Amino acid sequence: MSLENRKYLTLGLLLLTSVSFSIKLVYMQLLDSSWEKRATEIAEKRKEIVPPRGIIKDRNGKALVINHVTYNLMMVESKMGSFDTIAFAKLIGWTKEEVAQRFKDIVANEGVYKNKSSGKLEQNYRKDQPYPFLKDLSLSEISQITPHLMRFPGFYEAPSSKRYYPYPNAANILGYLNEVNREEIVKDRFYSPGMNIGRSGIERSYESILRGVKGVHYVVTDASNNVLHPYANKKYDIQAEQSPELITGIDIDLQAYGELLMNHKKGCIVAIEPSSGEILAMVSAPCYDPNLLSGRKTISKNYPILSQNPNLPLFARPLQAEYPPGSIFKLLQSLICLQENAVSINSSFSCNKSVVGCHNHPAPSSIIKAIQYSCNPYFYAAVRRVIQPNKSKNLYADASIGLEKWSSYMRAFGLGHKLDIDIDINGQRGGLIPNPEYYDKYLGKNAWAFSTIRSISIGQGEVKLTPIQMANIAAMIANRGWFITPHFVKSIGAKGPLAKYLKKQVTPIDPKHFEPVIEGMRRVVYEPGGTGKNARSEDFTVCGKTGTVQNGKGKKNHSVFIAFAPMENPKIALAVFVENSGAGGEWAAPIAGLMLEKYLRKKICNPSKEASIINAILAGN
């Protein structure tokens, strides 16, 4: 056969093959419906696997937050077809009208998102997307529904979970979860309708860790959504990863005890381990059981009640409340005065009550005794030397120079700004440390001097601190001049805390100046004339300072006490603030003493004292 004939034969065979395949394809597509049926019956499906949310434990390994399995009844409108509203309403125990309204609510509320450009809510509802019709169903509730779902195409069950708190404590610390909104779903592809997200506390701050890592499972399904087999023998599957455990520094027994002591009171307790900055307890009173905000049903029921309570249980006082510190501020004034050589350890000033009011006590012949007796005129005279340092002949310019130096020390103590703690609380405050710009703004430039602002020398006037800052002052003094930013999480799995919670914040105060201040604190608790005797322990040495915070004309003063113990190698530093209760030694000091005993001795040596505190109902509640 010639080469030319072979060419024509090859072309003929190719043409014949092409025609044969074309005829077969037309037959399959237009005449043989079995192939169409086969194609529609088999489909690849991508199933996302959400891991269980991470567990939170206290410093001793006790579980603070675990998961309880719940179920959502999901719906996909495009798969529903004809829908018997009456039969479905009967199945779930609703009325026909309630079912109809739920459909409208899903479209109106869950099918919208906030457009970042316009700031307006825009429709984003899709009939082919799943939405939760019923949420937070128990096993018994979903078990009554699931067997009948074959009558209602487009509906299916999906496992979910809600948080459970084995201890009814630490609500403001742990926070709570709530359902994601459309804007959050659009922003982060991890979330889908019906999922939860941390709304406050540790749950919110560590959301990206606690939620874990999603997995993906590919399966082959038929037209009825029945799984036929794994796709590609699971070659492309990705395993879901649960979050590592969060180990907090919280001692839940100490936390629970603090909440018990603060029953029927307003105020707070913050306890810190000085060497690590780990928060041992943070009580905000009045308290509430965190299980009241676990799950959508309980949140919708209890959140309005808690938010409308006049005693503000949702208000995290240790982080959000700002109070004048009162006489505990004299400890910091002492350190600054010593560092600036405004006074020496044995400097003496008379207790001149005509200058500023004071109680009766022996002469404050040293800074140690001034702390012991909490002498107001002494600190008025000492701090004046810092604020008016005689560096300018102009009185007002001189005060501005001195106050700028003074405020820089206070900022180094962690005051006047938010402490960068690892808990997300809306409305966290940083307190107020006035500087020259502050007084220039409100009083006018060259219109103020020490005599105008002298109340700051004894922790009143414009000065405001948060209770966590007060506790951090105690920790800083316990460490003789440094602190680690207070934080809750001791370790993320076995990795330890975030790196920033390993760094020491060193103050500009020479460590030698802390010794007389600490001796003065010891005398406050153990020597005659000291006002903190109600915090005394015979098993370890308590160093503390009381404060009585003025609360306006006709109102009872606030009671405050800060302390650390033992005196050497301190294990715990704390602040106690009791609103509307009187002098610092009357209520805050004994509460602090009991907390120290509970943590260091694990038992209470004076049950009658304990009972009197627990049973006390103080003014303003």
Q: What is the pLDDT of residues 249-267, one digit of tens each?
A: 999 999 999 999 999 999 9
CATH 3.90.1310.10 boundaries in the chain: 47-76+88-248
331, 480 contact by CB (below 8 A) = no
Give the residue with greater pLDDT, 142 vs 584: 142
Looking at the domain 47-76+88-248, which fold is it? Penicillin-binding protein 2a (Domain 2) (3.90.1310)
User: What's the confidence (pLDDT) of residue 238?
Assistant: 75
pLDDT in tens, 99-136: 999 998 888 876 555 555 666 666 678 888 888 899 88
Is 610 in contact with 594 (CB distance < 8 Å)? yes
Q: What is the mean pLDDT of residues 222-226?
A: 58
**pLDDT one-digit tens code per residue, 149-159:** 999 999 998 88
Q: What was the pLDDT predicted at 4?
A: 59
Pick from 31-35, 209-213, 579-583: least confident: 31-35
pLDDT, position 414 = 97
* Of 105 and 161, the one with more pLDDT: 105
pLDDT for residue 37 is more than 50:
no
Helix (H, G, I), strand (E, B) or coil at 306: helix
State the Cα torsion 130-135-136-138 to the nearest 10°: -90
Burial class of residue 435 in the structure, from the number of CB atoms within 10 Å of its CB (0-12 exposed, 13-18 middle, 19+ buried): middle
pLDDT of residue 21: 58
DSSP lists the bridge partners of residue 198 as 177
- In the numeric block, the tokens 């105008």 are attached to 452
Closest CA to 517 of 326, 375, 327, 334: 334
> How does residue 621 score in pLDDT terms, banded at 50, 70 and 90?
very low
Mean pLDDT, the chain, rounded, equals 88
Task: Please check whether residue 467 is in contact with residue 575, taking contact to mean a CB–CB distance below 8 angstroms.
Answer: yes
Does residue 418 surpass a pLDDT of 60? yes
pLDDT exceeding 90 applies to what percent of the chain?
A: 66
Per-residue pLDDT, 323: 95
CA distance 374 to 438: 28
Q: Which residue, 204, 234, 206, is CA-closest to 218?
A: 234
Residue 450 has pLDDT above 80, yes or no: yes
At residue 16 the predicted structure's pLDDT band, cuts being 50, 70 and 90, is: low
Instruction: Provide the pLDDT confidence category of residue 508 given band limits of 50, 70 and 90.
Output: very high
For residue 107, the model assigns a pLDDT of 86
Choices 3.40.50.12500, 3.40.50.300, 3.60.20.10, 3.40.710.10: CATH for 252-299+310-615: 3.40.710.10
- Name which of 69-83, 100-114, 505-519 the model is least confident about: 100-114
How are beta strands 279-285 and 112-114 bridged, if at all?
A: unpaired
The percent of residues in the chain predicted with pLDDT above 70, rounded, is 87
The amino acid sitting at 361 is H
Specify the pLDDT at position 362: 85
Contact 268, 317 (CB under 8 A): yes
More confident residue, 486 or 237: 486
Bridge partners, 323 (sequence order)? 465
Give the C-alpha separation, 202 to 196, whole Å: 14
Please tell me the distance from the alpha carbon of residue 475 to that of residue 270, in angstroms, as a whole number.
11
Q: Name the residue among 605, 558, 554, 564 with its Cα closest to residue 585.
A: 558
- Using the CB atoms, write b or e for 342-372: b if 16+ within 10 Å: bbeeebebebeeeebebeebeebebbbbbbb
Over residues 305-314, mean pLDDT? 94
Residues of the chain with CATH 3.40.710.10: 252-299+310-615
